Structure 1
Amino acid sequence: MLKSLALRGMPETTGGEMAADPLETAWKLQAGLADSTGKADAKASFALAVQSTALVLLGVLTSAGKSPGNPQHGISLVLLWAGAAILACGACCAAAAVSPNLRKERRGPHPDDDVLFFGHLRHWDPTELEAALKSKDLLPNLSRQIVVMSEIAWTKHRRVQWSFALAAVGSAALGLAAILK
């Protein structure tokens, strides 16, 4: 991983080891995590839009009496409703992935302990924040923020992964229901 950071512009020593300030390295890690989190949100938004559209279309077709399944064929009806339920679960996973995460645990016990989390920054007086930024060692706060952001990014990516998997299974069930007419 340190080697990949070197490829992004961090200086190296002659021996191939990193010659970076730990705070600079931490900021680069934090920026990478922010980018990764944003990509997970974009994927989840896409998944939610596609799955919601499919569910709405299915609802419109079903209410118009043109459902893809054959009501006389029991398996077709079961596949239709199972597919719809699985798609809905996938949409819920996508929605959970894009939902803001404002948990307070692991961010520091008090707002004046954290100068990185926007939920705590909103409580700071600008003059006191300036003084804290000039005098405070940010590495402990930044290290905690990196760990918290890593957990959030991991959770988002897992939810997106589940959403896509459920979308594939739900779509397959709906396709089978349509074939069994």
Structure 2
Amino acid sequence: MITFIKKQLRRAAPADPEPVKSDKEALETTWKIHAALVDWTGKVDAKAAFAVALESAGITTIVALSAEGRLFGALQGCLQQVTYYLAIVALVVAAGCAMWVVMPRLRMRHVGKEWPENFIYFGHLRYWDAGPLQDKIKQTDLLPVLTKQLIGMSRIAWTKHLLVKLSMICASIGGISLLTCGLLVRASIQ
């Protein structure tokens, strides 16, 4: 019975993908993936900059409308205060997430130890002199070095995308809370 199941699983298993024809083609493909990661990282940074601008506008609106005699200047009742403070907290968290996205990831504690075996990231390159770097590049199979870099870049890009998503969710919660608070104040609902 077990032999039968194993045979069925082997038949159902997808065929292995066709191997890459050469190391040169593999390296070309890896550089294309690297370029795509650079592009995705740049785009998520732009989204984060847009998000932090919107969130800053929301925070500025809260500050401007919280002065005495303004819409949020004299909140009354638990419901108004909860929606008001929820808006503040959500917008501050949203802006913090967006700012964290655009903050450079320099990995200063690790780069000083890693540089002798790495030369794709500018943080590693700054330790090299031109002659030894040229020799290292000539002697090293680039594919493992580059694939290691791809994995690191992918983790950074993934984290940035998650933070932008969290930023947008928090900003939406903050905006809805602020709007709700304004409606509650206008309707005199406490």
Normalised by the size of structure 2, how large is the TM-score?
A: 0.79
**1:17–1:81 distance in 2 versus 1, CA, 3 Å:** same
Over the aligned positions, Cα root-mean-square deviation in angstroms equals 2.3
CA drift of 1:143 comes to 0.7
Aligned partners of 1:123 and 1:17: how far apart in 2? 36
The structure richer in helix per residue is 2
Letter in 2 for 1:173: S
CA drift of 1:33 comes to 0.6
Among residues 157, 172, 177, which one is paired with 1:173 in the alignment?
A: 177
Residue of structure 2 in register with 1:138 after alignment: 142
Aligned partners of 1:99 and 1:161: how far apart in 2? 16
Larger Rg: 2
**1:22–1:105 distance in 2 versus 1, CA, 3 Å:** farther
Deviates more, 1:71-80 or 1:28-37: 71-80
Q: Flag structure 2 segments of 5+ consecutive residues without an equivalent.
A: 1-17, 186-190
Q: Flag structure 1 segments of 5+ consecutive residues without an equivalent.
A: 1-15
How many residues align? The count is 167
Among residues 19, 32, 39, which one is paired with 1:35 in the alignment?
A: 39
Among residues 84, 90, 93, which one is paired with 1:86 in the alignment?
A: 90
8 Å Cα contact 2:90-2:170 kept in structure 1: yes
Residue of structure 2 in register with 1:99 after alignment: 103
Aligned partners of 1:100 and 1:50: how far apart in 2? 21
8 Å Cα contact 1:107-1:145 kept in structure 2: no
8 Å Cα contact 2:67-2:73 kept in structure 1: no
Letter in 2 for 1:145: Q
Letter in 2 for 1:160: V
